[in-house]
Amino acid sequence: MKSLIEALDKTFDSRIRLGIMSALMVNDAIDFNSLKELLEVTDGNLASHLKSLEAASYISVQKSFIGRKPLTRYKATRQGRKAFEIHITALEKLIRFKP
């Protein structure tokens, strides 16, 4: 049991980071506003969680402009996908675990 818990990724402790990563697993890229609406969080809150995922190199950031409006898009990196899959597997094992 203990080793299983250790297999969980601390980065995904937060529901918001877990949500961001889930959405990025099934979409090529998502922009900031779509993520904000999806997760129902404030700008500042979302930005700080995105920063920590970026710091872990789990997501990559793409900045561009549509006309004069800035558009920030986020993608899951290969490393991030791998880490997320390991995390899900660990969760599934923990649920099935019988002491």
Partner 1 sequence: MTKNQYSDDLAHIRSMMERSSRFLSLSGWAGIIPGLLALAGLATAVWLIQQAKINGGYEKGIEHGHALVTQLGIVALMVLALSIFASWYTCMRKARLDNQSTWTPAIRNMLLHFAIPLMAGAIIVGWIYQKEQWELLSPVLLSFYGLALVLVSQFTLRSVFWMGIFEIALSIPAGITGWDLPVLAIGFGFTHIVYGIMMFNKPRA
User: What is the H or E stretch that residue 60 is in?
Assistant: strand 59-66
- Check residue 19 for interaction with partner 1 (CB under 8 A): yes
| AA identity, residue 59 | I
What is the total residue count of the chain? 99
Binding mask 57-96 vs partner 1 (x if CB under 8 A, - otherwise)?
-------------------------------x--xx-xx-
| AA identity, residue 64 | S
Q: What region does 78 belong to: left with phi over 0, alpha with psi -120 to 50, or beta?
A: alpha
- Check residue 28 for interaction with partner 1 (CB under 8 A): yes
In the complex, the residues that contact partner 1 under the rule CB under 8 A are 5, 15, 18-19, 22-23, 25-30, 33-34, 37-39, 88, 91-92, 94-95, 97
